[in-house]
Amino acid sequence: MHVHILGICGTFMAGIAAIAKAAGHRVTGSDRNVYPPMSTQLAALGIDIVPGYDAAQLEPKPDMVVIGNVMTRGVPVIEAVLDRGLPYQSGPEWLAKSVLDGRWVLAVAGTHGKTTTSSMLAWILEYAGLSPGFLIGGLPGNFGLSARLGAAPFFVIEADEYDTAFFDKRAKFVHYRPRTLVLNNLEYDHADIYPDLGSIRRQFHHLVRTVPGSGRIVVNAADRELAATLAMGCWTPCEGFARGGGDGAQWSARLAGNDDSRFEVLEHGQVLARVEWSQFGAHNVDNALAAIAAARHAGVPVPVAAEALGAFAGIRRRMELRGEVGGVRVYDDFAHHPTAIATTIDGLRRHGGAGRVIAVLEPRSNTMRMGVHQDTLAASLAGADEVWLYAPQDLGWDVEGVMEPLGARAHAHGDVGTLAAALVAAARPGDQLLVMSNGGFGGLHDKLLAGLAARAGAPPAGGRA
Amino acid 339: pLDDT: 79
Mean pLDDT of 250-258: 89
Reference 37, options 172, 136, 156; nearest CA is 136
> What is the spatial distance between Cα 464 and Cα 283, in angstroms, rounded to a whole number?
20
Specify the DSSP class assigned to residue 334. Answer: -
- Does 74 score more than 70 pLDDT? yes
Amino acid 412: pLDDT: 86
pLDDT, tens only, 120-144: 999 999 999 999 999 998 889 999 8
Distances (CA, A) of 14 to 29, 227, 439, 464: 9, 34, 15, 23
Reference 203, options 224, 217, 183, 222; nearest CA is 183
Distances (CA, A) of 326 to 157, 234, 262: 40, 55, 30
| 101 Cβ contact partners less than 8 Å away, ≥ 6 residues apart | none
Mean pLDDT of 390-400: 81
Amino acid 35: pLDDT: 65
> What is the spatial distance between Cα 371 and Cα 400, in angstroms, rounded to a whole number?
13
> Topology of domain 2-92, per CATH?
Rossmann fold (3.40.50)
Amino acid 200: pLDDT: 94
- Does 92 score more than 90 pLDDT? yes
- Does 460 score more than 80 pLDDT? no
Confidence band for 346, pLDDT divided at 50, 70 and 90: confident
Reference 357, options 412, 435, 284; nearest CA is 435
Cis status, amide bond into 76, omega within 30 of 0: no
Task: Please indicate whether residue 222 or residue 350 has the higher confidence score (pLDDT).
Answer: 222
Specify the DSSP class assigned to residue 96. Answer: I
Percent of the chain with pLDDT strictly greater than 90: 58
Mean pLDDT of 428-432: 90
Distances (CA, A) of 348 to 92, 275, 297: 35, 19, 32
- Does 102 score more than 90 pLDDT? yes
Mean pLDDT of 109-129: 95
> Topology of domain 102-309, per CATH?
UDP-N-acetylmuramoyl-L-alanine:D-glutamate ligase (3.40.1190)
Which stretch of 4-13, 70-79, 397-406 has the lowest confidence by average pLDDT? 397-406
> What is the spatial distance between Cα 77 and Cα 4, in angstroms, rounded to a whole number?
11
Domain ranges for the chain: 2-92, 102-309, 320-462
Q: Which CATH number fits domain 320-462: 3.30.465.10, 3.30.390.50, 3.90.190.20, 3.40.50.2300?
A: 3.90.190.20
Mean pLDDT of 294-312: 98
Confidence band for 462, pLDDT divided at 50, 70 and 90: low
Amino acid 314: pLDDT: 84
Cis status, amide bond into 460, omega within 30 of 0: no
